[in-house]
Structure 1
């Protein structure tokens, strides 16, 4: 039995009891083959909730600092994050983006699911920001369909992405999946910046429709720095 299955057996019922997540459109995720899950990012627990509500394991990129601890707490955190599907990558420096892209490509080429937040970071204010084109390069390089998703209400459960989740009335979470997007019409055009932007914007339009968020046509990192 894999660590992911163990974790899901242990935490799945607890998640349903405490957070009562409503999951919509789960049947839209293909049952086999490479799939990219692309959605909004409101708070830290998005990356915990998403894998636990999916029937297939989701792999995603995470900061390597999450698995470097040598204390008992650090080792437990490392076990948890790798069990839930996180692949640690050093994203600092100029090659961090390339490493993340190549990691995602390897996951997809072996036929697994890869989760990505095209905004590149958590939303600073609950709005949906411009997507980065790594998502477009991944789907065009691998041919994997993109299933857009929306996390709704997670920022009310864990405001600011820090601390323990806040439970109680009015804080119910919804995870909503959209129809798979096929970009095979752009095959071989993964270096065309206009195509990359068009594909990314199409994905983000679906995420916006699913989430109901206000869209801001600027990068979230720029908004954070302002």
Structure 2
């Protein structure tokens, strides 16, 4: 018979193989969305599986109700798909970001991750913050500096975690991206000067915030 602590540990560890299901769903989403793009590379499934395992390990310290864990399964699948697609194609399809946005608002009607007012404000603030930043960049440089998909993804993530988490989310994504570019530059990796797939880093930075919000921390 498992005591409370043992059951909680088993419950947390079980989330890792569950996220492999999210990886399988993400792989399917990538194939569907990428059908009109360059065919997905052969290493796609391996990359998604490794990312899902890392996400599962990152979830171990977080305690959360079973319902929130189940809700995070499709979110993880969509974020994995978006991260891969943005990394590969520099694209964040509306077919994935828009359902993620509406799902966040719907879920937070019951306050599972944040309150509904904070979710709505997070969606609006997430979109407008990057839109305004890009508008300022475009005014100065006569070209876009941030893709519109990034606006929509940040709006969707804001709908899940609420506006108070947005500064931490953007800071974490920017710091991770800059560190990655710096390391790639030091190693002289090919393509290190290419435009940054910011959606990839937004997805990565959002995951621990989602886990924290799901656990009410």
TM-score (norm 2): 0.29
TM-score (norm 1): 0.28
More strand by share: 1
With CA pairs under 8 Å and 6+ residues apart, which has the higher RCO, 1 or 2? 1
